[in-house]
Amino acid sequence: MIPIGGVPLIQPGDDLVQMLLGRLRAAGDRLKTGDILVVTQKIVSKSEGSLVDLRSCRPSRQARHLARFTGKDPRLVELVLRESKKVLRHGPNLIVTEHRQGWVCANAGIDFSNVPGEEVTLLPRDSDHTARRMRRRIKALTGAEVAVLIVDSHGRPFRRGAVGVAIGTAGISALVNKRGARDLFRYRLRGTEIALADEVASAASLLMGQADEGIPAVILRGLNYPKGWAKALNLIRPEANDLFR
Amino acid sequence: MIPIGGVPLIQPGDDLVQMLLGRLRAAGDRLKTGDILVVTQKIVSKSEGSLVDLRSCRPSRQARHLARFTGKDPRLVELVLRESKKVLRHGPNLIVTEHRQGWVCANAGIDFSNVPGEEVTLLPRDSDHTARRMRRRIKALTGAEVAVLIVDSHGRPFRRGAVGVAIGTAGISALVNKRGARDLFRYRLRGTEIALADEVASAASLLMGQADEGIPAVILRGLNYPKGWAKALNLIRPEANDLFR
């Protein structure tokens, strides 16, 4: 695992791939075929201009109501509602929604942009698409065939603490089947499908974790992984199969 | 990340720490202060004799009923019920319970033992305790102050695929607080508590994933982590705070 640090604050329109390649060059390294490049949702959102100034945001009646109930900023709640298909749970200082792309997470993935003021980042419009675009651009600029992951940090039911998860992937299968034992009735005893992309996201988050803006990208080198069929959106469990939603 | 392979099939009573140190020595390496040693639940359970032969298991009426409903082996269901405080959800080929230690997972963490026959492994009786014991033994044998993690692979609601999670830890804080942005009302905008131990578990699982019995242990070297207060049991979200249980 190789951290890419020293990346300047990202502005809308910045060429993220060029900036990351530049930082790597400065560190005497470069992307190689087979590498997995993991980048935070936040720098992707910034470069794509998925930013909203809370001061521009007029809360609806529903947002003001939910804001009172949760103790959250009504303008933020307004944005959360706009970004979501539905509110799944709410409580003091907590709103869990189904984001319009399907992610189940707190605040529809909205986060502060780490710039002074009241700007927040929304999730990228289509992270799988962005990952594919970055992968193609890396191939064009360097010749290297890499995998690209866009990651966010989500809380979980049952377990305390957030962990890194994948919200966009390209060049790597987000899900893999593990050769699994079957029980005597020929059913699989344990879930044998592994969320490879989420494990990669969590691994990279170990390095990103401490320095929020400091380490916005990490390379995993030397891991064997299938290119496969599954993109990050396939990680979303269909509601019909989800016994806890 | 350094995989420890070539570990022989573990038998009850085997000295796991000695065997892993032996394999490391054979590979020309050794544990160093600051390393994180990650081991699978399965080899810990085997070395502790947490094994049950399904043929010794007589299903109760309740187990037979749940077995019919889920299509699972009634003897397995009997064990799942014995290992659990309560059944949270069930469906075709799925039983999610609260394990008696509190873990929410499929089949109470029971898995095939990978030996011919009908033997299954139960979760270790107290994985945090085992991790502490292993850590002390490593210190006594080598002088190195390491962290020890015992990991399993759990499914998630909302998201498809299982990921590596920690069920026992020693010498590392399972949870860490990330310096987080706060919203205008001085509430935290995003969950700023990170499940460090689960991220380490997922990272190590990337190497363990392909070869089920082949890579039962992985070393993470060079990561800065706090020793902290939280053990793996602290990762369990209290039911009162769990909006999805």
What is the rounded average pLDDT of the residues B37-47?
96
Burial class from Cβ neighbours inside 10 Å (0-12, 13-18, 19+) for residue A101 reads buried
Minimal CA–CA distance to A199: which of A216, A220, A213? Answer: A220
- The torsion region of residue B209 among left (phi > 0), alpha (psi -120 to 50) and beta comes to alpha
What is the β-pairing status of strands A51-53 and A36-40?
unpaired
User: Is residue A210 scored above 70 in pLDDT?
Assistant: no
Q: Is B196 helix (H, G, I), strand (E, B) or coil?
A: helix
Look at residue B81 in the predicted model and tell me its pLDDT: 98
Residues 6+ apart with CB under 8 A from B216: B4, B7, B10, B39, B40, B42, B43, B208
Distance CA B11, CA B16 (A): 9
Contacts of B212 in chain A (CB under 8 A): 178-179
Query: From A77, which residue of chain B is nearest by alpha-carbon distance?
Result: B189
Average pLDDT in chain B: 91
Is A157 within 8 Å of B93 when comparing Cβ atoms? no
Contact B112 A189 (CB under 8 A): yes
Average pLDDT, chain A: 91
Cβ-Cβ contacts under 8 Å, A40 against chain B: none
CB contact under 8 A, A198 and B54: no
* Alpha-carbon span A17 to A38, nearest angstrom: 12
Sorting pLDDT into bands at 50, 70 and 90, what band is B188?
Answer: very low
Yes or no, beta carbons of B212 and A179 under 8 Å apart: yes
Q: What letter represents residue B2's amino acid?
A: I
At B211 the pLDDT is 55
Chain A residue with minimum CA distance to B115: A181
How many CB atoms sit inside 10 A of residue B6's CB? 12
For residue B242, what pLDDT band results from cuts at 50, 70 and 90?
confident
Contact: A203, B198; criterion CB under 8 Å: no
Look up residue B115 and give its two tokens: 């030996």
A87-91, A188-192, A219-223, B129-133: segment of lowest average pLDDT: A188-192
Cβ <8 Å between B160 and A175: yes
B170-180 residue pLDDT tens:
999 999 987 55
Is B178 at the interface with chain A, CB within 8 A? Answer: yes
pLDDT at A225 over 90: yes
CA proximity to B122, closest of B54, B42, B209: B42
In whole angstroms, how large is the CA radius of gyration of chain A?
Answer: 19
Among the partner residues B120, B158, B206, nearest to A245 by beta-carbon distance: B158
**β A2-4/A217-220 pair status:** antiparallel
Q: Which residue has the tokens 């905008």?
A: B189
CB proximity A156 to B under 8 Å:
yes
State the Rg of chain B over Cα.
19
Residue A39's alpha-carbon distances to A166, A220, B35, B53, in angstroms, are 10, 11, 26, 46
Please name the residues between 36 and 55 in chain B that touch chain A, using a CB distance below 8 Å. 54
pLDDT band at residue B185 using 50, 70 and 90 as cut-offs: very low
- Weakest mean pLDDT among A102-111, A123-132, A235-244, B84-93: A235-244
Give the number of A-B residue pairs with CB atoms closer than 8 Å: 220
Q: Would you say B175 and B230 are in contact if contact means Cβ atoms under 8 Å apart?
A: yes
Verify whether the Cβ–Cβ distance A242 to B158 is below 8 Å.
Answer: yes
- pLDDT for B95 equals 95
Closest partner CB to A194 (pick from B73, B209, B244): B209
Quick one: B179 exposed, middle or buried, by C-beta within 10 A (0-12, 13-18, 19+)?
A: exposed
Q: Do B159 and A243 touch (CB under 8 A)?
A: no
Which pLDDT does position A98 carry in this prediction?
97
pLDDT tens-digit series, residues B81-131: 999 999 999 999 899 999 999 999 999 999 876 666 789 999 999 999 999
Task: Kindly state whether A236 is in contact with chain B, defined as any CB-CB distance less than 8 angstroms.
Answer: yes
CA triple A33-A47-B177, angle to 5 deg: 85
Q: Distance (Å) from the C-alpha of residue B112 to the closest C-alpha of chain A?
A: 7
Structure tokens at B47: 């070395």
Exposed/middle/buried for residue B192 (C-beta within 10 Å: 0-12, 13-18, 19+): middle
Helix (H, G, I), strand (E, B) or coil at A141: helix
For residue B198, the chain A residues in CB contact (below 8 A) are 159, 161, 163, 202
**pLDDT tens, A147-204?**
999 999 999 999 999 999 999 999 999 999 875 544 434 444 455 799 999 999 999 9
Q: Can you give the three-state secondary structure of A35-91, one letter per residue?
A: CEEEEEHHHHHHHCCCEEEHHHCCCCHHHHHHHHHHCCCHHHHHHHHHHEEEEEEEE
Which pLDDT score is estimated for B229? 82
Is-contact A219 A31, C-beta < 8 A?
A: yes
From chain B, the residues in CB contact with A159 under 8 A are 104, 165, 195, 198, 235-237
Between CA B40 and CA A35 the distance in angstroms is: 26
- What does the pLDDT read at residue B74? 96
Closest CA to A166 of A138, A133, A210, A124: A124
Measured between CB atoms, which of B160, B190, B198 is closest to A234?
B160
Q: Is A116 on the interface with B (CB under 8 A)?
A: no
**Predicted TM-score (pTM) above 0.90:** yes
**Residue B137 in contact with residue B131, Cβ under 8 Å?**
no
Distance from C-alpha of B182 to C-alpha of B240, rounded to nearest angstrom: 24
The answer to whether the beta carbons of residues A231 and A128 sit under 8 Å apart is yes
Q: Least CA distance to B117: which residue of chain A?
A: A184
pLDDT for the residue B114: 67
Nearest CA in chain A to B204: A203
Residue B244: its pLDDT value, please? 85
Report the pLDDT value the prediction gives residue B205, as an integer from 0 to 100. Answer: 96
Could you report the per-residue pLDDT of B203-224, keeping only the tens digit for each? 999 999 655 547 999 999 999 9
Domain annotation for chain A: domains and CATH numbers? 1-49+124-237 (3.30.1330.100), 51-123 (3.90.1660.10)
Higher pLDDT, B211 or B141: B141
Interface of A with B in 131-150 (CB under 8 A): none
- The first and second tokens of residue A178, run together, are 């593990």
pLDDT at A136 over 50: yes
Burial A34-60, CB ≥16 within 10 A → b, else e? bbbbbbbbbbbbbbbebebebeebebe
